[in-house]
Structure 1
Amino acid sequence: MQWWQAALGILAGLAGVYAVLLLALWVYARSHPETVGMREALRLLPDVLRVLRRLATDPAVSRGARIKLFLLLGYLLLPLDLVPDFLPLIGYADDVIVMALVLRSVIRSAGPESLRRHWPGTPAGLAVIERLAGLPAPVAGKAGGAGKESTDAA
């Protein structure tokens, strides 16, 4: 067997794994209606980046959680993704899934109060992020700390 045949076999294997990943993300996005859509994600992006930065710089949040947040910020800001963003339906699915997993992990260690205290956006946006992070719906009339922290002008 020549070197190019081996290289072609490796590339074909990688393409197959990539196709399976795309299919798995597509199935996940279709079977989980709570997944945030692209339009909703784009509207929330500035607030999400602000809350991630605020949590990452909060000394009350554990060091491990802050490291996860800095790594997440880096992942979200990188132009290269596991799944290209131009693909319909699943293009942003990897970003949303990674963000939800990191938020769940950070909120488990920092507590949902930290998220609510640092949230700069609307109560509706906070509800979406809480849903993504796997938090139970807040009690009616208690929006948490949404928009209360005005000292951070980021």
Structure 2
Amino acid sequence: MERRNIRARLRAWAGELKTNLQALYLAARHPETPWLAGMIAAAVVAYALSPIDLIPDFIPVIGYLDDLLLVSAGIWLAIYLIPDHVWKACRDEAIRNPIRLPKNRSAAVFVVLFWILLLALLLSLLLHSE
């Protein structure tokens, strides 16, 4: 009985996570979203959808915990920075019209290139700061 309850709660949490990520995607593109909030929202969505993790998922427990903690913390921070009326509108839109993300290789290549460029930028900043 308790097992079913845990599964139901996990499914509800996963559905909520999906809705929040879709709402963040919409909020990142919303004209009233502040620049910093939009960048954080876009980064959280990109990280959540990215095939590249900071800690690979094949490492037991820790590999999934980084996703859970980083994505949850990023969602919280983005929601905190997004104006309430914008978040409510984007969340309502995500619930009414769920986004069906295309599954194609060009999107995956784009995400991988994005992370490579971001890493190169960070390395460049670190090397030039010394």
When the two structures are superposed, what TM-score results if normalisation uses the length of structure 2?
0.52
CA RMSD of aligned residues (A): 3.1
Aligned to 2:67: 95
The answer to whether residue 9 in structure 2 is matched with residue 71 in structure 1 is: no
Alignment pair present for 1:56 and 2:38? no
Indicate whether 1:84 and 2:56 are aligned: yes
Aligned CA distance change for structure 1 residues 44 and 70 (closer, same or farther; 3 Å): same
Per-residue CA deviation, residues 77-126 of structure 1 (Å, 9 max, x unaligned), is: 221212333555444321222223222322232234433332249xxxxx
Q: Which residue of 2 aligns with 1:135?
A: none
2:76 maps to 104
Aligned to 1:23: none
**C-alpha distance after superposition, 1:33-87 (max 9, x if no partner):** xxxx864554334323311111111111101111111122221122121233355
- Whole-angstrom distance in 2 between the partners of 1:45 and 1:109: 18
Contact 1:47/1:120, CA 8 A, preserved across alignment: no
Which runs of 5 or more structure 1 residues have no equivalent in the other structure?
Answer: 1-36, 122-145
Give the Cα–Cα distance (whole angstroms) in 1 for the partners of residues 12 and 34 of structure 2: 29
Q: Is the 1:38–1:92 contact (alpha carbons within 8 Å) kept by the matching residues of 2?
A: no
CA distance in 2, matches of 1:85, 1:43: 21
Partner SS state of residue 119, structure 1:
helix
Q: Using the alignment, how far apart are the partners of 2:64 and 2:40 within structure 1?
A: 20
Q: 1:48 to 1:90 in 2, by over 3 A?
A: farther
* Same amino acid, percent of matched pairs: 25
CA distance in 2, matches of 1:82, 1:38: 23
Greater helix share, 1 or 2?
2
Kindly tell me the number of residue pairs found equivalent between the two proteins. Answer: 91
Greater Rg over alpha carbons, structure = 1
Gaps of 5+ in 2: 1-8, 100-130
